[in-house]
Amino acid sequence: MEILASLSTLGTLIVIIIGLLIVALAADRIAIVFQKIRLPLITGFIVTGIVAGSSMLNFITPDAIHQLDFLFDIALSIIAFSAGSELYLNELRSRINSIKWMTIGQLIITFVLSSLAVYFLADLIPFMKEMNSLSKIAVAILFGTIFVARSPSSAIAVINEMRANGPFTKTVMGVTVLKDVLVIILFAVSFAIAKAFINGESTNLLFFVILILELIFSFALGIIMGKLLGLLFSFRIKSQFKAGFIILIGYSIYVLTDNIALYSDIYFAHKIVLEPLLIAIIASFVITNYSKHRIEFSEHLEMVAPTIYIIFFTLTGASLSIQILMSVLGIAILLFLIRIITMVLGGITGVVAAKDPKEYTFIAWMPYVTQAGVALGLATVVSSEFPEWGHSFETIVIAIIVINQLVGPPLFKWTLNYVKESHLRAKSNVKTHNQDVLIIGVESQSLALANQLARHNWKPVLVSVDDFKIDDIKDFEVHKMSDLTLESLKKLNCADMEVVVLMLSDKKNYQLAELIFENIGTKEVVVRLNKRENFNKFHELGALIIEPTTAIVSLLDHFVRSPNAATLLLGMDEGQDSVDVEIVNKDIHGMRLRELRLPSDIIILSVKRKGHIIVSHGYTRLRLGDVITLVGSEKSIEEIMFKFDT
Task: Report the CATH architecture of 2-418.
Answer: Up-down Bundle (1.20)
CATH 3.40.50.720 residue spans of the chain: 436-546
Q: Which band of pLDDT confidence, cut at 50, 70 and 90, is reported for residue 566?
A: low
Confidence of residue 348 (pLDDT cuts 50, 70, 90): very high
SS3 for 12? helix
Q: Is the pLDDT of residue 590 over 90?
A: no
CATH number of 574-645: 3.30.70.1450
The neighbouring-strand residues paired with 501 are 439, 526
pLDDT of residue 341: 93
* pLDDT of 501 over the 60 cut: yes
d(CA 186, CA 76): 16
Dump pLDDT digits (tens) for 69-83. 888 888 888 888 887
Distance CA 643, CA 629 (A): 14
Decide if pLDDT at 425 tops 80.
no
In whole angstroms, what is the distance from residue 242 CA to residue 222 CA? 19
Predicted confidence at residue 119, as pLDDT, reads 92
pLDDT at 10: 66
CATH 3.30.70.1450 domain residues, the chain: 574-645
pLDDT digits (tens, 9 = 90+) for 306-319: 888 888 888 888 88
Dihedral of alpha carbons 443, 449, 452, 454, sign: negative
pLDDT for the residue 431: 59
Residues facing 545 on adjacent strands: 527
**Confidence grade of residue 33 (pLDDT, cut at 50, 70, 90):** confident
Lowest model confidence (mean pLDDT) among 30-39, 282-291, 332-341: 30-39
Check if the beta carbon of residue 121 is closer than 8 Å to that of residue 334. Answer: yes
- Pair type for strands 603-609 and 499-502: unpaired
- Where b means 16+ CB within 10 Å and e means fewer, 184-206 reads bbbbbbbbbbbebbbeeeeeeee
Residues 428-447 have a mean pLDDT of 76
Average pLDDT value over all residues in the chain: 81
Question: Among 114-123, 166-175, 624-633, which stretch is predicted with the lowest mean pLDDT?
Answer: 624-633
pLDDT at residue 141, as a whole number: 93
Please report the pLDDT score of residue 7 as a whole number. Answer: 52
pTM: 0.71
CATH architecture label of 436-546? 3-Layer(aba) Sandwich (3.40)
Ranges of CATH 1.20.1530.20 domains, the chain: 2-418
Q: Would you call 546 helix, strand, or coil by DSSP?
A: strand
Q: End-to-end CA distance of the chain: give it in Å, rounded.
A: 80
pLDDT band with cut points at 50, 70 and 90 for residue 94? low
Mean pLDDT for the stretch of residues 59-73: 81
Q: Given this model, what pLDDT does residue 646 score? A: 54
- Please give the pLDDT value at position 596: 74
Q: What percent of the chain has pLDDT over 90?
A: 7
pLDDT at 55 over 80: no
- Asked if the model's pLDDT at residue 337 lies above 80, the reply is yes
pLDDT per residue over 228-264, tens digit each? 888 888 888 887 888 888 889 988 988 998 898 888 8
